[in-house]
Amino acid sequence: MIPVNFEPQLYRFEAVSSTNDKLRELALKGAPEGTLVFAKKQTHGRGRLGRQWHSPVGGFYLSVLLYPLTPKRITDLPFLAGVAIVQTLSQILPKVFDVSLKWPNDILVNRKKIAGILSEAFGENEFYGGIIGIGININTPLKELEDFQEKPFQATSISALMDGEQVDMDEVLNIFQAKLFNLYRFYQEKGFAPIHALWEKNCAMVGKKVEIQGVEPHKTNITGTLWGISERGGLMIDTGGAERLEILSGDLTCCWF
């Protein structure tokens, strides 16, 4: 494994409001890069755009503080975390399961949502960085995910996929940290290009017909073929016109066949 130039420091909690908020508190008190907050449950777990992340016992809730060398590129970090989650789940799950990425911040197993990432900016100047929050449904019972069974992306967990099998959370934590910091070191040395390539390789929607809903500025819906992601993390869509469209926000769905 490639070492990082800091010593990761892990804080564990039985329950917190949100691991991102707990890490922000620690960062404000001067916690260094590589500080991690892990909790067994969250009482106010957050998704993007003010959404909820249901966080009962059995799930994996972790936040990590990172200060990339190029601060204005903190938007690369959720892509890096997404690849680390795919690598972690691919190591834990039997090979028959299909682990893949969905733009911008979801991880799917057999086309169901198993994990999400919430990336938030922190600090200023040379201490401008990212608080990257990761939620993965590991031993989460399926009944806890009943409210999130709407298509196209129903929620699932490892135990739901594997007939109630329980995975050791410390093992997940160790594997994930190793993958994340290895990729981060690689990123600090080589930039976004290799992470970008790994992300696209692990996105099963590339080359498929997709629809993006709520595209700014007029909240329109756009359909086309997903060509890949852009250098700044936008979606590149072929709509049949002369040029590819770059889309920076919206909700993606895929016509798989």
Using CB under 6 A, list all residues that contact ligand BT5.
18-20, 42, 45-49, 51-54, 61, 63, 105-106, 113, 116-118, 133-135, 137, 145, 148, 155
**SS3 state at 88:** helix
Q: Which residue is nearest to ligand BT5 (CB)?
A: 116
Cα-flanking dihedrals φ and ψ of residue 131, to 5°? -105, 115
Cβ at position 125, least distance to ligand BT5 in Å: 25
Q: Which is nearer to ligand BT5, 175 or 244 (CB)?
A: 175
Residue 137 C-beta: closest distance to ligand BT5, Å: 5
We find the least distance from the C-beta atom of residue 42 to ligand BT5, in angstroms, to be 6
DSSP string, 143-190: GGGGGG--SSS-B--HHHHTTT----HHHHHHHHHHHHHHHHHHHHHH
Please identify, using beta-carbon distances, which residue of 53 and 187 lies nearer to ligand BT5: 53
* Shortest distance in whole angstroms from residue 193 CB to ligand BT5: 25
**Nearest CB to ligand BT5, comparing residues 50 and 240:** 50
Using CA atoms, how far apart are residues 205 and 254, in angstroms rounded to an integer?
7
Element containing residue 244 per DSSP (H, E): none
Q: Which residue's CB is nearer to ligand BT5, number 170 or number 189?
A: 170
Nearer to ligand BT5, 61 or 67 (CB): 61
Nearest distance in Å: CB 196, ligand BT5: 20
Could you tell me which of 234, 231, 237 has the C-alpha nearest to residue 209? 237
Q: At what angle do helices 169-190 and 192-201 cross, to 10 degrees?
A: 130
For ligand BT5, give the closer residue by CB, 18 or 87: 18
CB of 23 to ligand BT5, least distance (A): 8
The C-alpha atoms of residue 105 and residue 85 are separated, in whole angstroms, by 11
Q: Give the separation between CA 78 and CA 86, rounded to whole angstroms.
A: 12
Note every long-range contact of 190-193, with CB atoms under 8 Å and residues 24 or more positions apart, other chains counting: 192/73, 192/76, 192/79, 192/231
